[in-house]
Amino acid sequence: MDKEKKFVQEITARDEDFAKWYTDVVKVAKLCEYSNVKGCLNYLPNGYAIWENIQKNLDERFKKTGVENVYLPVLIPESLLQKEKDHIKGFAPEVAWVTQGGEEKLEERFCIRPTSETLFCDIWQKIVKSYRDLPKVWNQWNSVLRWEKTTRPFLRSREFLWQEGHTLHATSEEAEERTKQMFQVYYDFVTQDLAIPLICGKKTESEKFAGAKDTYTIEAMMHDGKALQSGTSHFFGNNFPDAFGIKYLNKENKLCSAYETSWGMSTRIIGAIIMVHGDDSGLVLPPKIAPTQVMVIPIAQNKSGVLEKANAIVMKLKEENIRVKIDEREKSPGFKFSEQESLGIPLRIEIGPKDIEKNQVIITRRDTREKIIISIDKLTTEIPKIMKQIQNDMYNRAKEFLDTHIYTAHNLEEMKKISQNQIGFIKTMWCGNKECEQKIKSEIEGFSSRCIPINSTEKITDHCIYCEQKAKHIVIWGKSY
């Protein structure tokens, strides 16, 4: 028990200092380490394995909607980045510039891609000639670089991993439909696979992506009540395609504009998993995304027959495609329990001489610590059921937290009070005027508009909380990561 205690003590209590708790969890679970390049991460095996599962599940969902994967260059010539003026304005201050290649000083600088809209438009301009070449529904899994000043593991780093999907369509309607479709893919993936409930909607004019006409966002609430933008889907209209000279011949042989979308989800989402589900003992991973779903820990493993039986269970579970490991190290069970907990492994199986006598094992759920005694013969049918239950319970707990931490404010005074006394999001009415949004933002410290919810059944009956004119939208406000 002493060793167990010591292991857990490395993690600051979550409600004592949330920021320090977060850093401790990342460190103890060995997810990543800072590198020698300020703000750039080394993704260690435990952290990268989570990302691999995210990639696998999300990529399957993409491909079902007809997405094709590609890979475009890491470098963008300065002249290319400058072709769409809102875009360059948005990104120029935060890119890294390559000025020398081998022994030669370059005539034109290249930046390391901060995002690849310009590269996609560049290749489309070369290969799209007719309506037969459309749509293009492309995606790439890559890393991008933005020269951020302050950085935090997964949440904000200079280099991060993501996928960026880019599509080109013959009509504005088709492009808008694709924007919403990918937004729905993100929603389904995050709620179903990561067990994270979401608020979703459109960004206001001032919070949109540089160069986009519409930006759809999914926003998750962390355990400290702050918002984490977890995925975005942008409709560009023909801004980029026109700036890049992309035109196609329609069936009537007429030259037409094309319409573009882009959509991305990054390793930030790992930060959301940590901050939505984690607890004082460390990470809690949803079974669908956990690299190891079950850890078998033999008790009194030197007693004859224990390791054999434990390994037989491992084999049996592997055959059912359950991601299972066994911890046979010469350490105390307490140490192993504690480590398995900090790593967020959804289920632990204890098996010792007494269990073997009774043909049973003791299963412990990571999320609730509930212990379940199960006959060894029923393991392969029961474990998938328990994992399904964990996945649902994790979602429901987080959903209750989200629902009970959204407050409605009817005027600025109320909003101020809530923001000072509660953690969570604040819902208000808004006239749609940019100035009002700015004023609210500056008066309610730390808050910004997260989104205008869509598919909301709520009626707009009230007045803008700032100017008191007739309201046009409901807005969700929050502090953001």
Both structure tokens of 331: 């350490």
Both structure tokens of 274: 């940590």
Supply angle C-alpha 147, 151, 154, rounded to 5: 105
With b for 16 or more beta-carbon neighbours within 10 A and e for fewer, the 13-36 pattern comes to ebeeebeebbebbbbbbebbeeee
Q: How far is the CB of 429 from a copy of itself (least distance, A)?
A: 38
Q: How far is the CB of 96 from a copy of itself (least distance, A)?
A: 5
Both structure tokens of 80: 């290319």
Nearer to a copy of itself, 145 or 351 (CB): 145
Nearer to a copy of itself, 102 or 305 (CB): 102
With b for 16 or more beta-carbon neighbours within 10 A and e for fewer, the 283-298 pattern comes to bbbbbbbbbbbbbbbb
Nearer to a copy of itself, 143 or 172 (CB): 143
Which residue's structure tokens are 């890049």? 244
**415: exposed, middle or buried (C-beta count within 10 Å: 0-12, 13-18, 19+)?**
buried
Nearer to a copy of itself, 95 or 313 (CB): 95
Per CB under 8 A, residues contacting a copy of itself are 33, 35-37, 40-45, 48-49, 51-52, 68-77, 80, 93-104, 109-110, 112, 119, 122-123, 126-127, 138, 142-143, 145, 147, 159, 161
Neighbouring-strand partners of residue 41: 34
Q: How far is the CB of 251 from a copy of itself (least distance, A)?
A: 12
Q: How far is the CB of 69 from a copy of itself (least distance, A)?
A: 5
Nearer to a copy of itself, 51 or 407 (CB): 51
CA separation for the pair 341, 249 (Å, rounded): 59
Q: How far is the CB of 48 from a copy of itself (least distance, A)?
A: 5
Q: How far is the CB of 109 from a copy of itself (least distance, A)?
A: 8
Instruction: Tell which residue, 305, 400, 385, 311, has the closest CA to residue 347.
Output: 385
Q: How far is the CB of 93 from a copy of itself (least distance, A)?
A: 6
Instruction: Tell which residue, 104, 81, 80, has the closest CA to residue 94.
Output: 81
Nearer to a copy of itself, 90 or 432 (CB): 90
Nearer to a copy of itself, 127 or 420 (CB): 127
Going by their DSSP bridges, the two strands 247-249 and 227-237 should be labelled as: unpaired
